[in-house]
Amino acid sequence: MTRQTPGDELRAAATRLRTLANAAAHDGRHTWTTANTLGSKSPVVVDDEQTPSVLIESFASRLEDVNRYIAALDPKAGLLLADLLESVSCDADDSALDDPGSERHDACDKTVCAPSAALALARILNALETKEPTT
């Protein structure tokens, strides 16, 4: 079995994230924000406050921080993260990204080594289980 290069892992994660971000957007709406429902004032995340096509509701006001987090990582942010992963995968000056099984960036400090942080994110995304929608 051929091991993926770190660059391959990054590109696979970018593709997956792009697919998920585009699927989460509705009617071309890639930006989400926090709001409250009109009646109960429950905290929600929406793609448009006036006519939402995406509405994620949490039923406790203590979860408003969760809503802010979800809104911060909306489809637009997902597409930008995918671009970032893709750009790190294309670094011609980093030969370790094209070396199958390279562990060069695994021990790096992720706060100062962009490829290390990007690879950690890519590996999380690539390990996610996704369920196909049921019809």
What tens digit of pLDDT does each residue of 27-78 get? 889 999 999 888 888 889 999 988 999 999 877 767 888 899 999 999 999 9
- The average pLDDT across 83-104 equals 76
Q: Is the pLDDT of residue 134 over 70?
A: no
Alpha helices in 3-55 (DSSP H): 6-24
Same domain, 6 and 44: no
Per-residue pLDDT at 2: 66
Question: What domain range is 43 assigned to?
Answer: 32-73
Q: Is residue 60 part of a domain?
A: yes
- Dist. CA 16–CA 50, nearest whole Å: 30
My answer on whether 62 and 85 are in the same domain is no
Taking residues 92-116, what's their average pLDDT?
70
In contact, 71 and 44? CB cutoff 8 Å:
no
Residue with tokens 């990007």, as numbered in its chain = 118
Percent of the chain having pLDDT more than 70? 81
**93 and 59: one domain?**
no
Distance CA 107, CA 101 (A): 14
Asked whether residue 25 is assigned to any structural domain, the reply reads no
**pTM value > 0.85:** no
Q: Look over the chain and give the mean of its residue pLDDT values, rounded to a whole number.
A: 85
Domains identified in the chain, total number: 2
Residue 98 lies in a domain: yes
Does a structural domain hold residue 27?
no
Q: Are residues 101 and 125 in the same domain?
A: yes
Q: Is the domain of 87 the same as that of 122?
A: yes
Contact 85, 13 (CB under 8 A): yes
Same domain, 66 and 36: yes
Local structure of residue 131 (DSSP, 8 states): P
User: Which residues face 18 on adjacent strands?
Assistant: none
Domain annotation covers residue 122: yes
pLDDT at 133 over 60: no
Check residue 122 and give its pLDDT: 93
Distance (Å, whole) CA 113 – CA 105: 8
Amino acid at 95: S
Work out the pLDDT band at 20, boundaries 50, 70, 90. very high
Is position 26 within any domain?
Answer: no
Q: Which two tokens stand for residue 131?
A: 């369920």
Residues 85 and 64 in one domain: no
